[in-house]
Every structure is written in structure tokens, then in C-alpha cells.
Amino acid sequence: MGCYFNIYSFGSSFEHIFPKSVEYSEKNLEEALKKVESMQANLGGTEILKPLTHILSQTCISNQPRQVFVFTDGEVSTPKK
């Protein structure tokens, strides 16, 4: 299929499912879904800067656009950063 993905959860800290983005496959999707189903909203405040900085520091995959979708409660802890 030729597309890549990763999923992050964030709060006062952040976690990612894979060490780096992985190519879409049924196996990778199943692994991601299992991990997403066990995620809890327990990482503290809504500090979005650290995970975004981490994501944007990752090496781009050749010929692939970088797209970031952010789902949040909207209560960013440090909005001026």
C-alpha cells in the first residue's frame, strides 16, 4: 500500500506504539489496534509540544508526506509554548 503510520499518546509525558513509523500492513494495524484498545487517558496534562517536537525530529520517509493528526481535549497545559 505504501503508506506509513505511528500512534502517539500524550499528556505530561508521551508514548508511541512503534519506535518509528511503520509501513501499513494488516499485521502492523492489528498490533496498533491492540495497543490503542489498552490505552488509558492517564498521562497527566495536555502538553503537546514535546510529542510534536519528537515527531518532527524523526527522519522523513522518502516520497511520503508527513501528516500529523492531533486528537485532544483542547486543554493545552502550556499554550504560549
Residue 75 domain-assigned? no
Residue 77 domain-assigned? no
Residue 71 domain-assigned? no
Write the pLDDT tens digit of every residue in 33-71: 999 998 877 767 778 888 999 999 999 999 998 999 888
The DSSP letter of residue 77 is S
Q: Is the pLDDT of residue 5 over 90?
A: yes
Write the pLDDT tens digit of every residue in 15-27: 899 999 999 999 9
Q: What whole-number distance in Å separates Cα of residue 5 and Cα of residue 48?
A: 19
Helix (H) / strand (E) element for 9: namely: strand 8-10
Domain that holds residue 41: 4-57
76, three cell numbers = 493545552
The distance in angstroms from the start CA to the end CA of the chain is 37
26, three cell numbers = 494488516
Residue 22 domain-assigned? yes
Q: Tally the domains of the chain.
A: 1
Residue 46 domain-assigned? yes
